[in-house]
Chain A
Amino acid sequence: MNLVLFLEQTLNGLQLGVMLFLMAAGLTLVFGIMNLVNLAHGSLYMVGAYLATYFYQATGSFALGVLLGLSGTLVVGIVVELVALRTLYERDHLDQVLATFGLILFFNELIAILWGRSAIFATMPPELSGHVELIGGLRYPLYRLAIIVVGLAVACLLWYVVGRTRLGMLIRAGASNRTMVAALGVNIRLLYTVVFGFGAALAGLAGLMAGPIHVVQPGMGELVLIDVFVVIVIGGIGSIRGAFAAALIVGMVDTMGRAFLKPMLALVISPVAADTAGPALASMLIYLLMAAVLAVRPEGLFPSRGS
């Protein structure tokens, strides 16, 4: 196998992985701490992409677009938490799944009313367009390199916040024993709102970075949502570390599957059969991975203790 190609695909896998991680981090925290199944997490990704695109076009500055897009998503997240989700924490998963399913429909139509049903054009900042030559023969889009850098930086930041600060201590404590944290006099409601807003902003970040290379249209969130659920379930719900590991694993497995499964199958079975089986298997690969992980470890790779 061609080494440069393999390296390039590894970078692709890494880039997909960090995008998944940005989405998964917020979702897994909300799950772990509030015990809330939030299907509408993908809607926040969409909101982030739309707001950033809108503000970038309105202000003409990418940095300002990102900043306003992020804070906008944060605000939307907090409003959603206060208005709709707050009363759901005590409910069972069933109610949560439904109410947030309702939110998906709501947000998709709302965006369609505001921006129309067609995809909108998200501009790529000129400074990040084009590509760079990393090593001999390996040219890689600059924008995607930037995504990897931002993703890894956020991961480090999260590691620091969750592992080294007081807020992080509360988050970890909340994930393992909610009642105890509340009993110790922590304003648990405020903690919830902060965590949810934080998760929303991360989803918004993923969305706004995806905007210029993916398609910005109503319903864009659902396309990634299920993959993100796969990530947090493999990683173990409530575990940032698990989400990071699982995001990279899923990113790699998915990318490598799409790239190399068909040629590898062709070595074993007939090329015609590989043509049919390869793409089919590649699209199922991450679900197979998840089923396999759960069959062996029913609580994911890094289960958080308690609750």
Chain B
Amino acid sequence: MHNITRPTIAGLIASAAFSTLISAPAFAQQKVKIGFITTLSGPAGIIGEHMKNSVELALDHLGRKVGGLDTEVIYGDDQFKPDVGKQVSDEMVKRHQVNFVSGIIWSNVMLAVAPSVVQAGTFMIGTNAGPHELAGKLCNELFFTTSWQNDQTPEAMGKYMQDAGLNDVYIMAPNYAAGKDMLTGFKRYFKGRITDEVYTKMGQTDYQAELSQLRAKKPKAVFVFYPGGMGISFLRQYSEAGLRGQFPLYSVYTVDEISIPAVKHAALGQIETRYWSPDLKNPANEKYVSDFRKKYGKYPVFYGAQSYDGIMLIDSGVRAVKGNLADKKGLTAAFRKADFASTRGKFVYNTNHFPIQNFYLLKAVAGPSGQDPVMEIQKTVFSNHKDSYSKDCKMKW
């Protein structure tokens, strides 16, 4: 331990550590800073890519100026881990001193991030995750979301299947919190007989054993929630096992514009419920979808539409306070009006800052001239649907 080089090394590390520290800006800025957190690495990185692309498109549409001010968007990768997401958001709030933190795909990351962001007095504009805590008792003046509450989409499917008079439904989901929430939400509106309720291993990619069990039970219909890669495997195997023709399959968050290119015809006829679809008719959406396809060469997905809306919401707020970002009360009041052209047409905010919006029945139909299937709106299931947790929110306005 006795060595004369010691101070040199200490000095080296010190200079390395603090050179970044000093170079970081220490003054308040005359521009809008948005920290956008999503998952950019690993298999789920595709969702983050769609969100990031949509944010960039929104900035293009705004002439790179949010609310008329110069804009800097800092992207952060949460790696699908709540503690990493927390660290990234701390970095954005404390080091980059952003005005808005936005993005976030996963409920658990959101629950780790949102409370600490709003506690620091910074706005949190969620663009995907909608855990019930934030819709209920953790609701906050500084928290808004442009997405939905987790339970709403399966509720819409439950309602549809109930109204259609279906019975003997076999329901399946992965064995984790969101999976259980989805089936719970479904059962809140579906009151018919349920043949069996099956939970599979998280991340499972082979469903043959479960499909054999399903066939043996001879249900009248099947309802599933299999997001991402699980959904791709499930749909292909469902179709391959010849079950497509035997038992009609209904789902939520299983078939979307990300999974369709990997599932192709195995998605045909699939029925989903959702609050947005590329074919939703309104000027903002038509512009978003066509410019997205032009710029990135593929269909956008709901994650992207919500993120696009998130930037537009921020834009509307910053405009309303005339660029005075310190006016937090003014911003909250402006956001509550949701005065922007949403890709979902019109939506208004509920008291808990979650949208009140329509839910539609979507069906995967054959694409034009032999292309991949596309989602098509069939009918409206819920008009102006509110989530069921807003009553737990104490906010008054």
Contacts and interface: CB of A to CB of B under 8 A. Distances in A.
Contacts of A217: 43, 229, 232, 262
B136 to A, nearest CB: 24
Contacts of B258: 118
B202 interface: yes
B206 interface: yes
B261 A121 contact: yes
Contacts of A282: 201
A226 to B, nearest CB: 10
Contact of A215 (B210, B241, B242, B262): B262
B205 A214 contact: yes
B212 A9 contact: yes
B43 A219 contact: yes
A145 to B, nearest CB: 12
A62 to B, nearest CB: 16
B209 A218 contact: no
A129 B216 CA distance: 22
A38 interface: no
A114 B197 CA distance: 40
A41 interface: no
B203 interface: yes
B345 interface: no
Interface residues of A, number: 48
A261 to B, nearest CB: 11
Interface residues of B, number: 37
Interface in B109-133: none
B237 interface: yes
A275 B209 contact: no
Interface in A208-235: 210, 212-220, 223-224
B240 A143 contact: yes
Interface of A: 2, 4-5, 8-9, 12-13, 15-16, 108-109, 112, 116-121, 124, 129-131, 139, 141, 143-144, 210, 212-220, 223-224, 255, 258-259, 262, 275, 278-280, 282-283
Interface of B: 41-43, 45-46, 49, 175, 197-203, 205-206, 208-210, 212-213, 216, 229-230, 232-233, 236-237, 240-242, 258-259, 261-264
16 contacts: A2-B216, A4-B216, A5-B216, A9-B209, A108-B42, A117-B45, A120-B262, A131-B242, A213-B237, A213-B240, A215-B229, A217-B232, A219-B43, A279-B198, A283-B175, A283-B201
Task: In the A-B complex, list the 9 residue pairs whose CB atoms are closest, starting with the nearest.
Answer: A119-B262, A117-B46, A279-B199, A283-B201, A215-B229, A215-B232, A118-B46, A219-B43, A279-B175
